[in-house]
Structure 1
Amino acid sequence: MSVTQYEFQLPELGYSYDALEPHIDARTMEIHYTKHHQAYVNNLNAAVKGTPLEGKTLDEIMGTPGLSMAVRNNGGGHWNHTFFWKLLKKDGGQPTGNVLQAINSKFGSFDEFKTQFSQAAATRFGSGWAWLCKQADGSVEICSTPNQDNPLMPDAQSCGGTPILGLDVWEHAYYLNYQNRRPDYITAFFNIINWQEVERLYNAN
């Protein structure tokens, strides 16, 4: 199938499916990336075709109020997952630099940030995402959104600002390995956060 210059495409993952084991297993990564994310891309292309949104960037679409549910769900799914893959890294380490200072200023310690972020992820009812967002004054806020909403959407109930960290808590992100144990998946996530990317995002916005 030919691809027009306006069609969205699945981004490069940047690492092998088994790169994040044992925290995220290879089969889950493969299905999540090639099936779920690809479906969001395909459905988004179909939803914007022939509309005023065709030809706009993904960020422009995310910032458009009043999106149809098809564009909101699939555009959000594409944006969120493209963002998420870059935040994952084997042996992610600990935050440093400006983002650590912002975390400590807001939450008092990195451990307290982990507690509050984990709570936001664990208590998101049904499917959704947990976020850490940078505000205009340089501070950071934790929030969560339902489904494939994200803080860039002007009508999303979120902390606003610019996302610098996000965690997918849809069951498809963890169910093969963790079944219904979402808290275990959240704990594992802290072993594979690419804090260099979080720092880059914080400094860039």
Structure 2
Amino acid sequence: MKSLETGISRREFLSNTSKASLVVGLAGTGILSACSGEVKGDSKAILATSFTQTPLAYDFAALEPHIDAMTMEIHYTKHAAGYAKNLGDAIGEESVDTNKPLEDVLAEISKYSTKMRNNGGGHYNHELFWKVMGPNAGGKPEGALAEAIASSFGSFENFATEFENAAKTRFGSGWAWLVVGEDKKLAVGSTPNQDNPLMDISEFKGIPLLGIDVWEHAYYLHYQNRRPDYVSAFWNVLNWNVVADRFSAAI
């Protein structure tokens, strides 16, 4: 399979952002879905998440040696597929309007069941995870995203250290994130289990630009208990073009 392609240039995204007067606008819960009715066109498309599992844009073996094929296959076809299936059951049970993006549900997750929280979060988190990774990736961000990282963290190296620490020190299972916060500054944090920064119940809030899965099933076959090694290897498969497009749409 070919690697993930955004199909839209950074310049087009910046233009669309300006024309639509996009806001990271934050509701009383602390986060408003950036995919709500105020956001249109390509920017909405890059941020919105459907309620069904998206086909993987690359082969299971495409991220080797950093993430092995068996882990990818089990992770995608069993774990992530399970969240998508259970989310489908939950939206039927709780009469969710699927004409709106999943982000709208997550922003008000306290109104829904634990089943919705766990599986809606698990589905969203994995859909983002697959998108921000890819073959022939790695390196460092460029342009506006690189400038924002330097402004928010002092340097890319400081950001990388903070992000790795968030992932390595998350107790038990969970995720580490880079988000655009309410002040439109970038921030790093983590959430437990399948929670994420879009949820109104989350202490750490923002619009996710990238996330890393630190549940053991994401790395145990290859790295066993060496989570720090897996976290360090993640930089080699991170697709900064996708992250940059999300940043442009979010701000």
Q: Give yes or no for contact 1:100–1:110 (8 Å, CA) kept in 2.
A: yes
* CA–CA distance in structure 1, aligned partners of residues 154 and 136 of structure 2: 24
Q: Give yes or no for contact 2:175–2:215 (8 Å, CA) kept in 1.
A: yes
Paired amino acid for 2:92: K
Deviations 1:67-96 (A, max 9, x none): 211100000000010011010022322111
Match of 2:56 in 1: 13
TM-superposed deviation, 1:168? 0.4
* CA–CA distance in structure 2, aligned partners of residues 41 and 65 of structure 1: 16
TM-superposed deviation, 1:9? 2.4
SS of residue matched to 1:203: helix
* Correspondence list, 1:77-88, <5 A: 77-88=122-133
Paired amino acid for 1:162: I
Match of 2:105 in 1: 61
Give 5+ residue unaligned stretches, structure 1.
1-6
Of residues 181, 190, 194, the one that matches 1:135 is 181
SS of residue matched to 2:61: coil
Of residues 185, 193, 204, the one that matches 2:230 is 185
* CA–CA distance in structure 2, aligned partners of residues 155 and 138 of structure 1: 20
Q: Give yes or no for contact 2:174–2:193 (8 Å, CA) kept in 1.
A: yes
Match of 2:160 in 1: 114
Q: Give yes or no for contact 2:109–2:117 (8 Å, CA) kept in 1.
A: no
Deviations 1:19-40 (A, max 9, x none): 0000000000000000001100
Deviations 1:46-77 (A, max 9, x none): 12213232535311211114121110000000
* CA–CA distance in structure 2, aligned partners of residues 65 and 39 of structure 1: 19
* CA–CA distance in structure 1, aligned partners of residues 101 and 142 of structure 2: 31
Match of 1:23 in 2: 66
* CA–CA distance in structure 2, aligned partners of residues 188 and 113 of structure 1: 16
* Percent of residue pairs bearing the same amino acid type: 52
Is 2:129 the partner of 1:91?
Answer: no
The CA RMSD over aligned residues, in Å, is 1.4
Of residues 202, 213, 232, the one that matches 1:156 is 202
Deviations 1:75-123 (A, max 9, x none): 0000010011010022322111111111111111111111110000000
Q: Give yes or no for contact 1:102–1:138 (8 Å, CA) kept in 2.
A: no
Paired amino acid for 1:87: V
